[in-house]
């Protein structure tokens, strides 16, 4: 199992390197595919992955990505285009509830609506971060914060973890590990800033990158626990089996989903 997990992790890193460095259309296409797969995994939990609520989710997720891609060419305020899409999506989902009544319950309809935001919209912020000025460097903070925090939290928790963070939801996670993850992510962010300033002439602010690392690390743990909560409520171990040793897309990207929009807005504000 360890060997399988390690090899899968290496392959994921190679894919991440290629797509994030290339950016542009390749990154856009990969993230769209990841979003649709992740939505399918989530919709399977509610039994709607091949039914009208789920199909509507896929259609509007593609619509969202198309608006995002062609945003510079669209007339008027870009926010209006997104709001129009989201309102239309809500109306369509409610129409399914009404005209198919009582075939689908409200939980399934809300899960379908939620899934598009939780997966497709939030993951899209990786692309949005990449296209920012200096995004070729900033986008890596999404993964530095989430995966770096996860590794540091695990190591610190194993060494000195005593107080349970969420004893019912995730008994193995400790407060000490959580703090260690935040501190570790801040340190990694600091070291990353030093590295790109030295070798990439990025001009990154070390303090800002450390702060982004700490905030991103804290949020990533919420994302991890949120995904675990959904699985616990529905008595499933993993969302899928796409990534050997890791589970599905949502099992591997649960923390990234929360971190990506946070990094984007922190990069803009700071």
Within this chain, do residues 139 and 151 fall inside the same structural domain, yes or no?
yes
- Of 72, 101, 131, the residue at which a domain comes to its end is 131
Within this chain, do residues 119 and 244 fall inside the same structural domain, yes or no?
no
User: What is the mean pLDDT of the segment spanning 63-79?
Assistant: 91
Within this chain, do residues 24 and 63 fall inside the same structural domain, yes or no?
yes
Name the nearest CA neighbour of 231 among 251, 246, 259.
251
In the chain, the number of structural domains is 2
pLDDT at position 158 is 86
Within this chain, do residues 45 and 114 fall inside the same structural domain, yes or no?
yes
Whether pTM exceeds 0.95: no
Within this chain, do residues 114 and 139 fall inside the same structural domain, yes or no?
no
- Of 103, 131, 159, the residue at which a domain comes to its end is 131
| Cα 220 from Cα 153, distance rounded (Å) | 11
Tens of pLDDT, residues 136-158 = 999 999 988 888 888 888 888 88
Tens of pLDDT, residues 196-234 = 988 877 778 899 999 999 999 999 999 989 988 998 888
pLDDT band at 2 (very low <50, low <70, confident <90, very high): low
Within this chain, do residues 205 and 230 fall inside the same structural domain, yes or no?
yes
Tens of pLDDT, residues 16-55 = 888 999 989 999 999 999 999 999 999 999 999 999 999 9
Prior bond to 102 cis, omega within 30? Answer: yes
User: How do strand 164-166 and strand 170-174 relate by DSSP bridges?
Assistant: antiparallel
pLDDT band at 245 (very low <50, low <70, confident <90, very high): low
Tens of pLDDT, residues 81-94 = 999 999 999 999 99
Q: Are 216 and 263 in contact (CB under 8 A)?
A: yes
Percent of the chain at pLDDT above 70? 96
> Which residues in 60-72 are b (16+ Cβ under 10 Å) and which e?
bbebbbeebeeee
Within this chain, do residues 120 and 26 fall inside the same structural domain, yes or no?
yes
pLDDT band at 262 (very low <50, low <70, confident <90, very high): very high
- Of 86, 114, 131, the residue at which a domain comes to its end is 131
Within this chain, do residues 91 and 203 fall inside the same structural domain, yes or no?
no
Within this chain, do residues 29 and 141 fall inside the same structural domain, yes or no?
no
CA separation (Å) from 36 to 25, 41, 61, 86, 122?
Answer: 17, 9, 8, 17, 12
Within this chain, do residues 113 and 153 fall inside the same structural domain, yes or no?
no
3-state secondary structure of 146: helix
| Cα 68 from Cα 81, distance rounded (Å) | 9
pLDDT band at 243 (very low <50, low <70, confident <90, very high): confident
Q: Write down the residue that tokens 């070798």 correspond to.
A: 199
Within this chain, do residues 59 and 171 fall inside the same structural domain, yes or no?
no
pLDDT band at 248 (very low <50, low <70, confident <90, very high): confident
Domain holding 31, by residue range, is: 1-131
pLDDT at position 200 is 74
Within this chain, do residues 36 and 79 fall inside the same structural domain, yes or no?
yes
User: What is the mean pLDDT of the segment spanning 104-123?
Assistant: 96
Compute the half-sphere exposure of residue 27: CA atoms within 13 Å on the CB side of its CA: 22
């Amino acid at each position: 199992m360890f060997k399988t997990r390690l090899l899968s992790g290496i392959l994921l890193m190679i894919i991440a390197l290629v797509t994030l460095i290339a950016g542009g259309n390749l990154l856009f296409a990969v993230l769209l595919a990841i979003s649709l797969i992740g939505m399918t995994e989530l919709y399977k939990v509610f039994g709607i992955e091949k039914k009208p609520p789920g199909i509507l989710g896929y259609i509007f997720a593609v619509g969202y990505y198309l608006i995002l891609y062609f945003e510079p060419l669209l007339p008027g305020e870009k926010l209006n285009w997104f709001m129009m899409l989201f309102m239309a999506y809500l109306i369509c989902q409610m129409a399914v509830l009404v005209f198919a009544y009582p075939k689908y319950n409200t939980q399934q309809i809300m899960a379908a609506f939620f899934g598009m935001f939780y997966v497709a919209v939030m993951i899209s912020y990786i692309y949005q971060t990449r296209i920012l000025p200096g995004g070729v460097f900033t986008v890596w903070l999404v993964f530095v914060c989430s995966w770096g925090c996860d590794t540091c939290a695990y190591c610190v928790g194993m060494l000195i973890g005593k107080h349970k963070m969420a004893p019912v939801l995730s008994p193995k996670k400790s407060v000490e590990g959580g703090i260690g993850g935040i501190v570790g992510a801040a340190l990694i962010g600091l070291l990353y800033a030093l590295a790109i300033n030295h070798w990439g002439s990025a001009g990154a602010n070390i303090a800002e990158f450390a702060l982004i690392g700490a905030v991103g690390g804290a949020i990533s743990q919420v994302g991890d626990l949120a995904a675990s909560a959904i699985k616990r409520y529905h008595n499933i171990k993993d969302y899928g089996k796409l990534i050997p040793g890791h589970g599905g897309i949502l099992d591997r990207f649960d923390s990234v989903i929360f971190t990506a929009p946070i990094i984007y807005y922190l990069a803009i504000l700071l």
